[in-house]
Amino acid sequence: MTIDLNVSRDAVVQDVSKTTGVGQREHTTAAWVGIDLSLLGVQTYRLLPGEEVEPFHYGKMIAATRAASAGGLDFVALSSEFLADTAHAHPCGDAVAVGAQLRSIPGVGVVMEVAANPQAVADALNAVAVDASSWASLAIHITDQTEFTSELCDVLCAVHRAGVGLIINLSAQSLTGELTSLVARYADMVRMRVQDPHVARGLRYGIRAAAHEAGRDLPVVADLGVIISANSQAAHERALLVEAIYGTELFAGIPKVVGTVYDVADAIERWVGLGAADGVVVLPASLPTDLGSLIRGVLPLLSGRAGVEVKPQSLI
């Protein structure tokens, strides 16, 4: 989508016509906005003895994906930890099994994370390299210790040849020059789990500079946890409730916004305007509450500030 940036043009993506097909006014830029729907998988948190696991509801996943598509989000994502069935795990991973079915919904991309090993990527590619109504992307998670073996590089090349996107999920605070070059060579998008926007800006600059040298335009997006309510007090009260239910800190290691739709819109503009990211992947605290607030509140705000219509982008 296109958002307004009241910042220096140095932070603005220069060649946005490749993705939007139209030029942008000064102080506007194309920004990616996706949502991680892994929360809709089987929930196993804080189970008591004899308590049954909360099951996965495929209908809720379909409804959420359709809402994301209708609301103008660019893509939905499922992590490699996503579970649809604890008793019968899919050989390619449940993220791929469910994500492949979500591709029947037009207008929104589907991103499926798999383990960063050659066999897992190859198996997932066989499952998703088919014609469908929406574009597909595989994702792998790397750290600063990940080794790009020749076998892994070969299968990543096969992903590109099949017309499937590749997103590299990055949790490192810094990258070596060699790893930066490899990421810039193989990724179609980089997704960061970085809490500090200034650290994220440095990572993004290095990755995009390496990609530019290779003649590629490589968007870098950041994870953003959200808890959205009508006012700040209600949002913080809901945050405490959700943390009590999960029994753990929400959104550890990533930036988060606990507040109103205006707070979330401001945070997205701030990260993109600073040059820390080319967009965000929203991690909701609860569904469908935060998804509804995102598509009915945050996206219209961003679109209204830019004075343009929301137009989803495609990675492929």
Residue 295 lies in a domain: yes
Residue 175 lies in a domain: yes
pLDDT for residue 53: 60
Owning domain of residue 155: 2-7+30-306
How many structural domains is the chain composed of? 1
Check: CB of residue 2 under 8 Å from CB of residue 43.
Answer: no
How do residues 152-162 score in pLDDT, each as one tens digit?
999 999 999 99
Q: What are phi and psi of 224, to 5 degrees?
A: -140, 110
| Mean pLDDT of all residues in 96-113 | 95
Residue 62 lies in a domain: yes
Give me the sign of the Cα torsion angle 52, 86, 172, 188.
Answer: negative
- Name beta bridge partners: 256: 225
CATH of the domain at 225: 3.20.20.30
Look at the pTM and tell me if it is higher than 0.75: yes
Residue 312 lies in a domain: no
Residue 311 lies in a domain: no
Q: Which of 222-226, 241-245, 303-307 holds the top average pLDDT? A: 222-226
pLDDT for residue 91: 73
How do residues 1-12 score in pLDDT, each as one tens digit?
766 665 434 444
Q: What are phi and psi of 167, to 5 degrees?
A: -110, 130
Q: Torsion angle of alpha carbons 59, 298, 269, 306, nearest 10°? A: 120
